[in-house]
Amino acid sequence: MTGQERQERKEGHEQPFAVDPWQVAEHGLDLTSLARAESVFALSNGHIGLRANLDEGEPHGLPGTYLNGVFELRPLPYGEGGYGYPESSQSVINVTNGKIVRLLVDDEPFDLRYGELLSHRRWLDFREGLLRRSAEWTSPAGRTIKVDSTRLVSLTQRAVAAVEYAVEAVDGPVRIVLQSELVANEQLPGGPEGDPRAAAVLEAPLLAEAHHSGGTKGVLVHRTRYSGIRVAAGMDHVIEGPERLDTVAESEADHSRITVTTVLHPGQRLRLVKFIAYGWSATRSLPAVRDQVEAALTAARYTGWDGLVAEQADFLKEFWDVSDVEIEGDVELQQAVRFAIFHVLQAGARSEERAIPAKGLTGPGYDGHSFWDTEAFVLPVLTYCLPTAVNQALRWRHTTLPLARDRAAQLGLAGAVFPWRTIRGEECSGYWPAGTAAFHIGADIAAAAARYVRATGDAEFEREYGLELLVETARMWRSLGHHDAAGRFRIEGVTGPDEYSAIADNNVYTNLMAQTNLRAAAEAAARHPREAARLGVDTEETAAWRDAAAAMFIPYDENLGVHPQADGFTDHQVWDFENTPPENFPLLLHYPYFDLYRKQVVKQADLVLAMQVRGDAFTDEQKARNFAYYERLTVRDSSLSACTQAVIAAEVGQLDLAYDYTAEAALMDLHDLGGNTRDGLHMASLAGACIALVAGFGGLRDHGEVLWFRPRLPTGIMRLGFSMMVRGQLLAVRIDHDETTYTLRRGEVIHLRHDGETVQVKAGRPVSVPTTNPPAQERCSQPPGREPARRQAQAGLSAGRITSGPDHLAAE
């Protein structure tokens, strides 16, 4: 099946979301794809995450309420263990569910599997940060009601979520019972068998410690069985309706319920506002955690529903003013990139010295672990739109340095070895060739820290946190690598970004990133000599870092005129793509790793990513030849790949191919291209879509003190605009096919490079310069059946499926 055929299959009934530039909307309800919609409509602030389960709790695809940093331990069994293997892993758990508001209509449960569902709509507007729902339903007994609900997870009050739930009688008097609940230890469905991407399901992970209910409030306190994390959840309510309302409060170990009963006549409404708060800690006492939740509920009730909604709108207004990416010519891609930016914001806004997981807090995929994805894809986007989130994410890495130092010592290395996958900082990967051996994560963290300091000028962060991250990762590289007889610095026995190759010598991406790390550490130590001396850094050590960086070995295949991904890679047998059935992708689910490792087949962009992050190490001719060579080997079994291929495709002049890859990255979850959106959204791919637009078509390179731009647009995009916060100044870039305009919206003056030429932009004086259109290039080929869908054909269809708001059904 070709990429186009795969896309056409997705264009059928499997795409339930209407196209709108500022929202994602679902008209009707498909019970077979509930889990997917629960991920797409998930709400989070980086601290709390709520999957978009229906308010009534059932039916559901995958229940999910997540708290960042709350996990359970589980053993890692080995058939044959080895020194240095992690003994346990960490899995995110579904904590106490506060979303549930059950409804009974004349004793009939409001369950959409029964009765007649006359209408059902859900929509998430990226400017409001609210998930809205509207339904009209006739019960099996023939009574019709309307239900409207709105849900938010506060971006301003990090411990708070809230639900507004209203019921209206339509065609006769009805007895209404609302049951607002807190439920712990919900039963969860099992995940797909044999798929390592699915989360480990942990049954009943919470041990009850306390419960209380009274009036309109309820609180449950639990403790995780093995990780010892105390979790408190609380709810309080404001109830409006007919004069006669009966309210009952009750609780038990895993359950608290506030029940409201009344009779509604046609046109009457019962409105319930539910405030939900969470607190958790591995060290604080039960009274302290419980009181934290009580205080958060008090603050939320004081703010009120209207106040929370207004705060949310104000926060997002400021965010979009700084962060919007505007596209003219492709409304579906416009929607997708705003969807991407919104969810990246949700993943990091209030993470506050906790990890940003690969799925954010939208689902249990990858067990809730954070990978190198965060530093390599998510943080570059947040650096220029929400730098405070980057500061917090890197400070979380800094808090894990003691564990990283212990891991390095265990491996016989100096400095710090950060984990491949983790929640709290310990290594959670039981497969060391793809885990421990992927040492490049240390350089990814160092690069993110250096980028943040360059973009913000935050010298205090560099002194207190960044310097130590750079020093300890540089020490690791100096001890991991060695100078050979020819004086070259080699790094051997490592795994690069491509997970279909492992334990290779001199992976180009790894070596170039290590070189960047070593140089950045030496420069930071020179800027902060006093702090460096406290870390034990002396001139001899920084000289050793500089020597290693200068002598870094970068393999090159003279016969083919390309860079091998690692030593000897281009000598391997090429994978038999012609005889690989379409149903055998992703390959890791159908072939043994040993066979993948010894063949030329690439899961995700590796050498191509090196050309993006270290373009200065390659000539333009080398980039073009390398890109063409690796295109025919890359199967994109990873969602991390398309965005990187988009960036380099644009750089080498293959703009339509870059357009195709950009759309694939942006639509990964809205079109469920990986088939696993049910487990949570792909944060790196969503962030990667932004990178593809800004670094690909905008040509942004930010590896030095001055920003470089090399804009060019594909034929399917008429105009591209974006803004960036740079050292407190707000730079706007607007690109069309003839010219590019740079405007300083905030600040006094900024210097940048456009197509290699220096440009000075001052406040109130936009600068317009020609957009260079590269010569047309022959389109590279991909492995059979792994071609990206042609975006040019799809873009023209988008306009026919636009909706102007939640009240309009999508046109056919």
pLDDT of 746: 97
pLDDT of 804: 33
Residue 606 lies in a domain: yes
Residues 689 and 727 in one domain: no
Residues 562 and 510 in one domain: yes
Residues 245 and 182 in one domain: yes
Residue 693 carries which side chain, given as an amino acid letter? Answer: L
Task: Report how far apart, in Å, the C-alpha atoms of 584 and of each of 1, 8, 579, 591, 676 are.
Answer: 11, 20, 10, 8, 16
Active site residue 499: yes
Nearest 5°: the CA angle 168, 172, 178 is: 40
Q: Do residues 665 and 790 lie in contact, with contact meaning Cβ atoms separated by under 8 Å?
A: no
Residue 8 lies in a domain: no
Residues 177 and 209 in one domain: yes
CA 132 to chain CA centroid, Å, is 23
CATH of the domain at 746: 2.60.420.10
Residues 401 and 497 in one domain: yes
Residues 283 and 393 in one domain: no
Residue 73 lies in a domain: no
Which residue, 678, 704, 730, sits at the end of a domain?
704
Structure tokens at 638: 């990873």
What count of other Cβ atoms lies within 10 Å of the Cβ of residue 317? 11
Residues 476 and 619 in one domain: yes
Structure tokens at 517: 């790390």
Residues 656 and 736 in one domain: no
CATH of the domain at 401: 1.50.10.10
DSSP string, 367-409: GG-B-THIIIIIHHHHHTT-HHHHHHHHHHHHHTHHHHHHHHH
CATH of the domain at 146: 2.70.98.40
pLDDT of 76: 85
Residues 435 and 570 in one domain: yes
Nearest partner of 68 among 444, 372, 449, 360, judged by Cα = 360
Residues 693 and 753 in one domain: no
Residue 69 lies in a domain: no
Paired residues of 557 in beta bridges: 562
Q: Helices in 692-733 by DSSP H: which ranges? A: none
Residue 476 lies in a domain: yes
Nearest partner of 623 among 690, 561, 567, 706, judged by Cα = 561
pLDDT of 199: 47
Residues 301 and 330 in one domain: no
Q: Do residues 614 and 592 lie in contact, with contact meaning Cβ atoms separated by under 8 Å?
A: no
Which residue, 704, 731, 751, sits at the end of a domain?
704
Which residue, 704, 732, 756, sits at the end of a domain?
704
Question: Which domain does 516 fall in, by range?
Answer: 324-704
pLDDT lower than 70: segments of the chain: 1-15, 190-202, 793-812
Question: SS3 for 549-571, per residue?
Answer: HHCECCCCECCCCECCCCCCHHH
Q: Do residues 706 and 753 lie in contact, with contact meaning Cβ atoms separated by under 8 Å?
A: yes
Q: How far apart are CA 548 and CA 477, in angstroms?
A: 9
Residues 291 and 412 in one domain: no
Active-site residue among 499, 541, 631, 787?
499
> For the chain, how many structural domains are there in total?
3
Residue 74 lies in a domain: no
pTM over 0.75: yes
Structure tokens at 231: 């979790």
Residue 518 lies in a domain: yes
Residue 37 lies in a domain: no
Q: Do residues 235 and 294 lie in contact, with contact meaning Cβ atoms separated by under 8 Å?
A: no
